[in-house]
Chain A
Amino acid sequence: MAKKKTSGSAGMNERTDIKTPVSEMIRKFKKQKNAVVALFFIIVLVIIALVGEYLVPFGINEYDYSAILQGPSMAHWFGTDEFGRDLFSRIICGTRISLAVGLSAVTVGAVCGTVLGLLGGYYGGIVDSIIMRICDTLFAFPGIILAIAIVAILGSGLGNVVIAVAVFSTPTFARLVRSRTLALKHSVFVQAARNLGASDARILFRHILPGAFPEIIVQFTMSVGSSILTASSLSFLGMGAQPPTPEWGLLLSNGRNYMLTSLHATLFPGLAIFLTVLSFNILGDGLRDALDPKLTD
Chain B
Amino acid sequence: MRMKGYKLMALLMAAAMTALTACSGSGDSGSTTAASGTAAAGGETQAEIPEGASISQQQDVVAAVNVDFTTMDPMDTSDTLSGGIQRMIMDGLFGFDDDMKIYPMLATGYEANEDATEFTITLREGISFTDGTPWNADAALANFAKWDDESLGLKRTTFLCSVLDSFEKVDDYTIKVYLTEPFGAFISNLAHPACVIMSPKQIEAGVEACAEAPVGTGQYTFVEWIEGDHLTVELNPDWWGYDAEICGGTALADPDAGFHSVTFRPVTESATRVAMIQSGDAQIIWPTPTESVSVLEADPNVTSYTDEGLVVRYIMLNTQKEPYTDKRVRQAIDYAIDKDAYIQVVKNGLSTKADSVIAPAVQYHKGNEVRPYDVEKAKELLAEAGYPDGFTTTVMYSNTTANQKQAEFLKQQLAQVGINLELNGMESAILNERIQDVNVPGSEAEVEFYIIGWSPSTGDADWGIRPLLSIESEPPMSYNISYFENEELEGYIQAALSSADDEVRREAYAKAQDLVWDECPLINLCVDSNVWATANNIQNVKLYPDGAINMKNAKMTN
**A touches B in complex, CB < 8 A:** yes
- B196 → chain A closest CB, angstroms: 34
Total number of B residues with any Cβ neighbor in A under 8 Å: 31
Encoded as 1 (CB less than 8 Å from any A CB) or 0, chain B from 273 to 284 comes to 011001000000
CA distance A25 to B274 in the complex (A): 53
CB atoms of B275 and A63 under 8 A apart: no
* Interface residue A125 (Cβ < 8 Å from any Cβ of B): no
Q: Interface extent on A, as a size class? A: 20 to 34
- Binary per-residue interface labels of chain B (333-345) against chain A in the complex, 1 for a CB within 8 Å, 0 otherwise: 0000000010011
**B294 with A261: CB separation less than 8 A:** yes
A254 to B409, CA, bound (A): 14
Q: List 5 A-B contacts (CB under 8 A).
A: A65-B341, A83-B412, A242-B425, A243-B407, A254-B405
Which of A242, A243, A253, A257 touches B291 (beta carbons < 8 Å)?
A: A257
Contact: A261 with B401, CB < 8 Å?
no
Q: What are the 10 closest A-B residue pairs judged by CB atoms, nearest first?
A: A260-B295, A243-B408, A259-B271, A238-B399, A243-B404, A242-B423, A244-B408, A257-B291, A65-B341, A63-B412
Q: With both chains docked as a complex, state the minimum distance between the C-beta of A182 and any C-beta of chain B, in angstroms.
A: 43
Q: Are A82 and B405 in contact (CB under 8 A)?
A: yes
Q: Is B289 an interface residue (CB 8 A)?
A: yes
B292 is an interface residue with CB less than 8 A from chain A: yes
Q: In whole angstroms, how far apart are the Cα atoms of A68 and B401 in the complex?
A: 17
- Distance in angstroms between the alpha carbons of A61 and B413 in the assembled complex: 11
B133 in the interface, Cβ–Cβ < 8 Å? no
Q: Is the CB of B425 within 8 A of A261?
A: no
A238 and B341 CA atoms in complex are apart in Å by: 25
A-B contact count (CB 8 A): 61
The interface of chain B, by Cβ under 8 A from chain A, is 269-271, 274-275, 278, 289, 291-292, 294-295, 341, 344-345, 399-401, 404-405, 407-409, 411-412, 415, 423-427, 430
- Specify the chain B residue showing the minimal Cβ separation from A239: B427
| A156 CA / B425 CA spacing, docked (Å) | 8
In whole angstroms, what is the CA distance A4 to B115 when docked? 103
Give A54 to B212 CA distance when docked, in angstroms.
60
Q: Please report A residues at the B interface, Cβ cutoff 8 Å.
A: 61, 63, 65, 68, 82-83, 152, 155-156, 238-239, 242-244, 253-254, 256-261
- Bound together, the chains give a CA A20 to CA B165 distance in angstroms of 92
Residues on the A chain within 8 Å of B426, using CB: 155-156
Chain B residue at smallest Cβ distance from A68: B345
A261 and B295 form a contact (CB under 8 A): yes
B408 contacts A83, C-beta separation under 8 Å: yes
Contacts of A244 in B (CB 8 A): 408, 411, 423
User: Chain B's interface: helix, strand, loop or mixed, by majority?
Assistant: helix
Question: What is the chain B residue whose CB lies nearest that of A82?
Answer: B405
Q: Which residues of B contact A254 (CB under 8 A)?
A: 401, 404-405
Chain A proximity of B342: nearest CB distance (Å): 10
Contacts of A242 in B (CB 8 A): 423-425
Question: Which one of A63, A244, A260 has the greatest number of beta carbons of chain B within 10 Å?
Answer: A260
Docked-complex contact B399 and A156, CB < 8 angstroms: yes
Q: Which B residues are CB-close (under 8 A) to A63?
A: 412
Q: Is the CB of A83 within 8 A of B345?
A: yes
* Distance in angstroms between the alpha carbons of A239 and B407 in the assembled complex: 16
> Contacts of A61 on B, CB cut-off 8 Å?
412, 415
Q: In angstroms, how far is the closest chain B Cβ from the Cβ of A103? A: 24
Chain A residues with Cβ below 8 Å from B291 are 82, 257-258, 261
Q: How far is the CB of A69 from chain B (nearest CB, A)?
A: 9
Q: A238-B399, A244-B411, A257-B270 are in contact. List 20 more A-B contacts (CB 8 A).
A: A61-B412, A61-B415, A63-B412, A82-B291, A83-B345, A155-B430, A156-B425, A156-B427, A238-B427, A242-B425, A243-B408, A244-B423, A254-B401, A256-B271, A257-B291, A257-B292, A258-B291, A260-B271, A260-B292, A261-B292
Q: Which residue of B lies closest to A253 (CB)?
A: B401
Say whether B399 contacts A65, CB under 8 Å. no
With a cutoff of 8 Å between Cβ atoms, the chain B residues found around residue A259 in the complex are 271
- Complex: A87 Cα to B415 Cα, angstroms: 21
Q: Which residue of A lies closest to B405 (CB)?
A: A82
Which residues of chain A come closer than 8 Å to B405, judged between CB atoms? 82, 254
What separation, in Å, do the CA atoms of A63 and B342 have in the docked complex? 13
Q: Which residues of B contact A261 (CB under 8 A)?
A: 291-292, 294-295
Q: Which residue of A lies closest to B338 (CB)?
A: A65
Shortest distance from the beta carbon of A265 to any chain B beta carbon, whole Å: 10
Residue of A nearest to B430 (CB): A155
User: What residue in chain B is nearest A266 (Cβ atoms)?
Assistant: B271
CA distance A239 to B426 in the complex (A): 8
**B275 contacts across to A, CB distance below 8 A:** 260
Q: Are B345 and A82 in contact (CB under 8 A)?
A: yes
A242 to B426 Cα, complex, angstroms: 9
Whole-angstrom distance from the CB of A35 to the nearest CB of chain B?
A: 37
Give A65 Cβ to nearest chain B Cβ, in Å. Answer: 5
Q: Cβ of A65 and Cβ of B407 under 8 Å apart?
A: no
**Bound: A243/B408 CA distance, A:** 7
In the bound assembly, the distance between CA atoms of A242 and B427 in angstroms comes to: 12
Q: Which residue in chain B gives the minimum CB-CB distance to A255?
A: B271
Question: Which residues from chain B contact A257 at a C-beta distance below 8 Å?
Answer: 270-271, 289, 291-292, 401
The minimal Cβ–Cβ distance linking B268 to chain A, given in whole angstroms, is 11
Q: How far is the CA of A244 from the CA of B424 in the complex (A)?
A: 11
A243 touches B423 (CB 8 A): yes
Smallest Cβ-Cβ distance to B409: which chain A residue: A83
- Give every chain B residue within 8 A of A253 (Cβ-Cβ): 401
Minimum C-beta distance from B363 to chain A (A): 35
B414 to chain A, nearest CB (A): 12
State the Cβ distance, A280 to closest chain B Cβ, in Å.
29
Instruction: Please give the distance in Å from B119's CB to the nearest CB on chain A.
Output: 48
